[in-house]
Amino acid sequence: MPPADPFVAENSDTRRAGTEEPYALGPAPTRTTVAPALVEQLIADQFPYWSGLTVEPVAESGWDNVTFRLGSELLVRMPSAAEYALAVDKEHRWLPVLASQLPQPVPRPIAKGRPGAGYPFPWSVYGWLQGTPATLDQVTDPVRFAEDMADFVAALRRVTTAGGPRPGKHNWYRGGPLRTFDGLLHTALTDLDADLGTGLVHTIWQRAIRARWDGVERWFHGDLSQGNVLLADGCLAAVLDFGTCGVGDPACDLAIAWTLLTEEGRQAFRRRLSVPDDEWARGRGWALWKALTVCADNRGSSDQVALGARRALNELVTESRADTSSETGHAAGASVTTWPTR
């Protein structure tokens, strides 16, 4: 059994597993920018044996961290806010434990940097993982990809949870009750001029927050999104960024079924994991919250992240409409927008 982790006591919630009480979210983190020159200075000061390596920004850097290539074999991740810096110790503690039990490669922590040169947070150096960010058009076999993702999630869920980090500030309460995000969902819908009180969006969300969790804690990744899944030759090659990982309700990892899988792949994913109805409903809720938030934050954008979120909304609404029609014997009304995906 892994030794006790002091990070858990400080940054994880200690409430009883299975509670429905939502967490109190704080204000959105205030993000900072990081220039390559700062990374070069920190490397020179703290890891001079790497000071001759080039530092180049990664094109798809992500939100929680500003990411840089260090030479050809290393990666530097600089947290963009104090809240995101909480994940540094967690990843260094738990990634080696998880890596040995997962079917695909995950990031390998190599060194942990200290605050310095005006940068206030701890930071990390990782080994570089080969691959390209997953997109539907690059997947050669959508069903095989879905089954490989299901096998990854299943393996992660089999890892012992003893001492693992429960939902907290370190992962923006992934693995906790979906009701925690009710206010953010309303805000996103208001920003998008949509109405939560009617239509299929309301149905999806209400079913999700009412769906019961059995209280059995499992490991989860927390953000199985396009940028965190790598492909090689059209197949699953690696999974990145465990900053939102933890132990709790693992339904958050089902969101990928609507964000990165085809309809056929989604059903294969569900069958492979043997997902019951209540967990599937919660997974829909996680996908809906994330997609609406991304759409609200990227109105008018045509980048891959925004287009992927709109596609996820369309998939969620289409599936929910079909389910509603099947349950009632009547066609569900088209009461929500079809979101452009080009």
- Per the prediction, the chain carries an average pLDDT of 89
Is the per-residue pLDDT at 142 higher than 90?
yes
What pLDDT, on the 0 to 100 scale, is given for residue 334?
46
Average pLDDT over residues 326-335: 54
Please list the alpha-helical segments (H only) found in 120-262: 142-158, 182-191, 199-210, 256-259
Q: What is the mean pLDDT of residues 56-85?
A: 94
Q: Place 332 in a pLDDT band, splitting at 50, 70 and 90.
A: low
pLDDT of residue 11: 60
Q: What is the mean pLDDT of residues 315-322?
A: 88
Residues 6+ away with beta carbon under 8 Å from 287: 254, 255, 257, 258, 259, 312, 316
Does 320 or 102 have the greater pLDDT score?
102
Q: Considering only residues 99 and 198, tell me which one the structure prediction assigns the higher pLDDT.
A: 99
Q: What is the pLDDT of residue 305?
A: 81
**pLDDT confidence of 166, banded at 50, 70, 90?**
very high
Q: In the prediction, which pLDDT does 25 show?
A: 79
* pTM, rounded to two decimals: 0.90
pLDDT at 14: 53
DSSP state of 168: B
Q: What local confidence, expressed as pLDDT, does residue 304 receive? A: 77
Q: How far is CA 149 from the centre of its chain?
A: 14
What is the percent of the chain where pLDDT is above 70? 87
Is 90 or 192 the better-scoring residue by pLDDT? 90
Domain boundaries defined on the chain: 36-127, 132-327
pLDDT number for residue 335: 45
Superfamily grouping for domain 132-327: Aminoglycoside phosphotransferase (APH), C-terminal lobe (3.90.1200.10)
Q: Model confidence over 38-66: pLDDT tens digits?
A: 999 999 999 999 999 999 999 877 789 99
Residue 18 pLDDT > 60, yes or no? no
Superfamily of domain 36-127: Phosphorylase Kinase; domain 1 (3.30.200.20)
In whole angstroms, give the CA distance from residue 201 to residue 205: 6
Residues 175-215 have pLDDT tens digits of 999 999 999 998 898 888 765 555 789 899 999 999 999 99
Q: Which residue has the higher pLDDT, 12 or 122?
A: 122
Give dist(CA 335, CA 100) in Å, integer.
47
Residues in contact with 91: Cβ distance below 8 Å, sequence separation at least 6, in sequence order: 107, 109, 124, 242, 243, 245
**CA pair distance 33, 36, nearest whole angstrom:** 10
